[in-house]
Amino acid sequence: MTTKKPPRRARVPAKRSTPQAPAASPVPGDLPLAGSPRAHPSLGLGLFAQGRWTQEDERRTRDTVARAIELGLRWFDTAEVYGAGRSERVLGDALAHSGTMTPPAFVATKVWYEHLRPSVLRAALLGSLQRLALPKVDLYLVHAPNPKVPLDETMGALAELAREGKVGSVGVSNFDVEELDAARSALGTTPLAVNQVRYSLLTPDDGEAVLGYCRDHGIVVEAYSPLAMGLLAGRHLDGTGPPAELRRQDSSAFGPTRLPELLDRARGLRKLANAENVPLASIALHWLACRGVAPLFGATRPQQVDDIVRAWAVRPSDELLERADQVAGGRRA
């Protein structure tokens, strides 16, 4: 994606024959969602646009969403800025052609940090709803904080949209504890339901920094990049040099000074997973789930959804997750 980044901590992803569908996400259970009669699904598919969103990209995205629906996944996360709106449009089209789902889809989208003034925010949501072909979204997130826009204005506008029924729940993304506290105060009686942050076994910093606060205040923590840009699915571990894809996507987490150490620890985790005959992704996903965190994985092909759902169905032992935590933290070879 080539859109301009927020001022800090930005982040800004032919039908194949399937021999046998893996089991739909059986574990763990859904999470309570503040102020909503709906529960928050425990595993979701993120539609961050990888690449230029050609017609072929869009076809693969439709196939990927369709496969996720087939396997029982219901949480889909997108944003107005992903593919300049194309991600929302493709998701809306895929959902429209999916028929009746039980339970129904849980759809989340985000407002870009440059659109946080109340009048602009409202227009942004209406545009998202039009592209998604939905009367409301289950969850609407502020994509990143913007210090140039008073938080009271933004949260007041979101609370009003929630009262109007256009938004099921209000959340934020990439907020630290101080910002979360201010957002909660500005929302008044409307609960702050979610904070979505980068969080993985290899890159725990943002998640660990807010986890305690979110637990204390009933805020669901969503983890984007739970597989550390593929490292915790076994990707990029056997190359001869740092993968350019990682540096290009997120230089702050996977820059040249940090990446060699992360690759080394990911190889240690893979060795541990292989020794225990457990998928590496199982360890990564359930390490988060055991903290009460909801992983949001990215996929660009149906096969990747199959792989994640299979991994999700394998619950590593607590002892194995503890050993993995030690390896990821550099405390055990």
The SS3 assignment for 192 reads strand
pLDDT classification of 19: cutoffs 50, 70, 90:
very low
More confident residue, 61 or 12: 61
Distance CA 251, CA 102 (A): 40
Check residue 4 and give its pLDDT: 42
Closest CA to 227 of 209, 194, 250: 250
In the predicted structure, residue 199 carries a pLDDT above the cut 60:
yes
Check residue 54 and give its pLDDT: 82
Check residue 6 and give its pLDDT: 53
Check residue 14 and give its pLDDT: 36
Check residue 222 and give its pLDDT: 98
CB 332 within 8 A of CB 326: yes
Give the CATH class of 44-237+280-317.
alpha beta
Check residue 152 and give its pLDDT: 97
Asked if the bond preceding 103 is cis, omega within 30° of 0, the reply is yes
Closest CA to 139 of 150, 154, 128, 130: 128
Q: Which amino acid is at 162?
A: A
pLDDT classification of 10: cutoffs 50, 70, 90:
very low
First vs last C-alpha separation in the chain: 37
Distance CA 79, CA 60 (A): 18
Q: What is the pLDDT of residues 98-147, one digit of tens each?
A: 988 888 999 999 999 999 999 999 999 999 999 999 999 999 999 999 99
pLDDT classification of 258: cutoffs 50, 70, 90:
confident
Q: Which residues neighbour 86 within 8 Å (Cβ) at sequence distance 6 or greater?
A: 49, 53, 58
More confident residue, 24 or 155: 155
Mean of pLDDT values over 258-268:
91
Q: Domain residue spans in the chain? A: 44-237+280-317
More confident residue, 258 or 223: 223
Q: Which helix (H) or strand (E) holds 107?
A: strand 106-111
Mean of pLDDT values over 214-238:
95
Q: Which residues neighbour 224 within 8 Å (Cβ) at sequence distance 6 or greater?
A: 11, 46, 48, 173, 196, 197, 198, 199, 296
pTM above 0.95, yes or no: no
Catalytic machinery residues: 82
Q: What is the pLDDT of residues 214-225, one digit of tens each?
A: 999 999 999 999
Q: Which residues neighbour 105 within 8 Å (Cβ) at sequence distance 6 or greater?
A: 69, 74, 75, 76, 95, 98
Q: What is the pLDDT of residues 50-88, one digit of tens each?
A: 556 788 888 999 999 999 999 999 999 999 999 999 999
Q: What is the pLDDT of residues 180-194, one digit of tens each?
A: 999 999 999 999 999
In the predicted structure, residue 212 carries a pLDDT above the cut 70:
yes
In the predicted structure, residue 13 carries a pLDDT above the cut 60:
no
